[in-house]
Structure 1
Amino acid sequence: MHVALDAMGGDRGSRILVQGAAAAAETGEVEISLVGAEDVLRQDINALSLAPDVVSRLHIVHASEVVEMCDNPVNAIRKKKDSSVLVAFHLVKDGKACAAISAGNSGATMAAGIRTLGRLEGVSRPGITSIFPTLKKPVVLMDIGANVDCKPHHLLQFAVMASAYSQIMGSKNPRVGLLTIGEEAGKGNSLVKETWPLLKQSSLNFIGNVEGRDVFRGDVDVIICDGFVGNICLKMSEGFAEAAMTMMRDEIKSTLLTRIGGLLVYPAFKSFRKRVNYEQYGGAPLLGVNGIGIVCHGKSSAEAIKNALLQGAAMAKGNMTGIIQKSLAANNGARGAEV
């Protein structure tokens, strides 16, 4: 599988991205096109002292421009025709890569994906999904910020696409829940109330409403909401995970007795940290475009980039777009050109 990486995006510089690409290449599962300034990327590769077989799986594709984090996403994609993120998506469009990955400007990544690959037939608004750790197994949440003002058929489409992604993640018949303020069908705002019957009438395995406290229980495989609610849920969860780790660390260091106890529970503490670390999931898939794109955190580590590259290859291997198209066809109510 051949994956394209926007090697100039992100907050931590190209060296970290190339390290992640090298780690993915070492698995032997993927080849990577590193898209960006050729001289910079060549130096990054040489500085890592990689084995020849790993170097052979890294291919540099030159791009003369970079979309900065401070750039207006739409304007940047229009003006910077040779930007690394746009070139990465063109590799997917031209069949030279099965997926495009970027840790750069997330708005520009989404705009580049839509502009280059186009929407899947019947999809009004592509969206971004994320994976949350739970008490049982990871849950897929969509949308997490791409669409803050939605209509009922948008949420139905999110459910179709997120269910397809959940299948790629291993769920045979994903259980879908609608995020709102009460379990009863009549609870929520007008958007939720109007979406509920659409999900109920669909071919999806819709189990009803779920509340915020249910997100981490793991009783559902997919949770649907608009991007406004989803982004708050995502950022609050990230903030809580960081705060919980810090508070646990402070408590362990507070007395001699807790320090001694900390040594005994260190393996469990380390395991918990890994369990709540978003980096193990790679990135957030952009669903609804006619191809595969993944949006990574701007501060992604090499490990996160490695996992995102492998994630993109797995989505392509699992025929993600084909599953979404099939599910859209099975749910005629999800299809529509209205934006």
Structure 2
Amino acid sequence: MIRISLDAMGGDQGPEVVIPGAAKALERYPDARFLIFGIEERCRPYLERFPKLAAASEFHHCEIAVRMDDKPSQALRRGRWRSSMWRAIEAVKSGDADVCVSAGNTGALMAMSKFCLRTMANIERPAIAAIWPTLRGESIVLDVGATVGADAQQLIDFAMMGAAMARALFGIERPTVGLLNIGVEEIKGQEEVKEAGRLLREADFLSLNYHGFVEGDDLGKGIVDVVVTEGFSGNIALKTAEGTARQIGGYLRAAMTRTWRAKLGYLLARDAFDRLREKMDPRRGNGGVFLGLNGIVIKSHGGTDVEGFAAAVEVGFDMARNDLRQKISRDLDLYHARRMPARAEMQASI
């Protein structure tokens, strides 16, 4: 049984999307159980519409909700111990839940998660990992917004965490990992990226297979299982891809309704267009995973709909069921155990 804590007040629409989304996820994962945190007078009317979800849930009233425009520092001062976001995270810390899912303010969610759960040993900064649709299926891209700027060691940490997530989600024993760069040549890019590439080549990890540098146009090709970058460029890449998907969808809708012949062509090829729309649907990849914390937290898009929030809940279910945190912890322990003799030898020579 996987126990999922929900911040029912998070997102642009709060319980109007969160509760029906959880109900939809429960249909697909009937052995899930929920702890729902929110303002009772707003949540109860929606919860009463879904008796199966109500039977599989515990509801906890909270005094306040973190606003989408709250600064992280404001959210911590105002929302610690009383907000639905904090209490949903705290349920993971206490062991009452296996994973937390929120569509709330990203900065506040990250700040509260770091404060409440703390980062794992040997991890300086957490990362947000996104599931990326590709021509070959799906890849993982991180960081997409948690850490602006990263040194070589932090990029290596991201690589190990992303590889552990790929094993948990895709069942790949030794995922391929690439570093996002402005070219595939080793002489190109920022010094931090080049240094991370050198260290990854020399490390010979058992948990991942380092592919080398990848460029922006490789993201959709799926040539690697995990793409590693720092949060500034990763977030821009994510938002660009989502915007491009919507742009292409708009072009297709306009083209298919322009003339009666186009409408007829759409009817004849409707199944193909439906499959294309499904593959391009950003909701399918909704649910960024906070990696590097002592607990699993899933960030849903704030403006998502019911289907999108259900997808985020399902990502959390899969991460908890496949022991993501334990896989990351084991990989980090093995890596740093191998580093210690080399570091001691280097310091002795100095």
Indicate conservation of the 8 Å contact 1:22/1:58, yes or no: no
Given candidates 316, 322, 339, the residue that maps to 2:320 is 316
CA–CA distance in structure 1, aligned partners of residues 308 and 31 of structure 2: 16
1:130 match: 130
Q: Distance in 1 between matches of 2:282 and 2:97?
A: 25
Q: Kindly, what percent of the aligned residue pairs are identical?
A: 35
| Post-superposition offset of 1:64 | 0.7
Cα gap change, 1:70/1:12 in structure 2, threshold over 3 Å: closer, same or farther? Answer: same
In the alignment, what sits opposite 1:120? 120
Q: Distance in 2 between matches of 1:105 and 1:143?
A: 17
Give the aligned partner of residue 32 of structure 1: 34
CA contact (8 A) 2:131 2:286 kept: no
Q: Aligned-pair RMSD on alpha carbons?
A: 1.6
Q: Residue 302 of structure 2 corresponds to which residue in structure 1?
A: 298
Contact 1:132 1:141 in 2 (8 A): yes
Which residue identity does 2:244 align to in structure 1? F
Q: Give the whole-Å Cα distance in 1 for the aligned partners of 2:291 and 2:325.
A: 8
The yes-or-no answer on 1:254 pairing with 2:251 is no
How far apart are the structure 1 equivalents of 2:118 and 2:91?
Answer: 14
Looking at structure 2, the residues matched to 96 and 208 of structure 1 have their Cα atoms a distance apart, in angstroms, of 41
CA gap of 1:71–1:139, structure 2 versus 1, over 3 A, is same
Q: 1:242 aligns with which of 233, 242, 246?
A: 246
SS across alignment from 1:176? strand
- SS of alignment partner, residue 258 of structure 1: helix
Question: Structure 1 stretch 89-98 or stretch 255-264: which is displaced more?
Answer: 255-264
Deviation at 1:104, TM superposition (A): 0.7
Q: TM-score, normalised by structure 1?
A: 0.94
Provide the rounded CA distance (Å) in 1 between the counterparts of 2:128 and 2:119. Answer: 13
Cα deviation 1:229-264 (Å, max 9, x = unaligned): 101100100000000000011111122211111112
Alpha-carbon distance in structure 1 between the residues aligned to 2:339 and 2:24: 39
Unmatched tracts of structure 2, length 5 or more: 344-350
Q: 1:71 to 1:106 in 2, by over 3 A?
A: same
Q: Which residue of 2 is the match for residue 189 of structure 1?
A: 190
Give the stretch that moved more between structures: 17-26 or 224-233: 17-26
The answer as to whether partners of 2:182 and 2:188 remain within 8 angstroms in 1 is yes
Asked if the contact 1:153–1:334 (Cα under 8 Å) also holds between the matched residues in 2, the reply is no
- AA aligned opposite 2:26: A
258-267 or 136-145, larger mean C-alpha shift: 258-267
Render the CA deviation track for 1:279-315: whole Å, top value 9, x for unaligned: 2234000000001000110012112222222221221
How far apart are the structure 2 equivalents of 1:277 and 1:252? 18
Provide the TM-score with structure 2 as the length reference. 0.91
SS of the aligned residue for 1:75 comes to: helix
Q: Please say if residues 4 and 33 of structure 1, whose CA atoms lie closer than 8 Å, have aligned partners that are also in contact.
A: yes
Instruction: For 2:331, give the aligned amino acid.
Output: S
SS at match of 2:63: coil
Partners of 1:319 and 1:224 in 2: CA distance: 21
Q: What is residue 151 of structure 2 aligned with on the other side?
A: 151
The equivalent residue for 2:45 is: 43
Aligned-partner Cα distance in 1 for 2:238–2:319: 22
Give 1:334 deviation, angstroms: 8.4
1:279 and 2:283 are equivalent in the alignment: yes
1:159-198 pair list within 5 angstroms: 159-170=159-170, 171-198=172-199
Corresponding residue SS for 2:13: coil
Partners of 2:133 and 2:285 within 8 A in 1: no
Name 2:6's counterpart in structure 1.
5
The residue type paired with residue 35 of structure 2 is S
In 2, distance between residues paired with 1:294 and 1:25? 17
Of 285-294 and 106-115, more deviation after overlay is shown by 106-115
Corresponding residue for residue 62 of structure 1:
61
Any gaps of 5 or more consecutive residues in structure 1? none
Q: CA deviation at 1:191?
A: 2.0
SS of the equivalent of 1:61 reads strand
* 1:217 partnered with 2:218: no
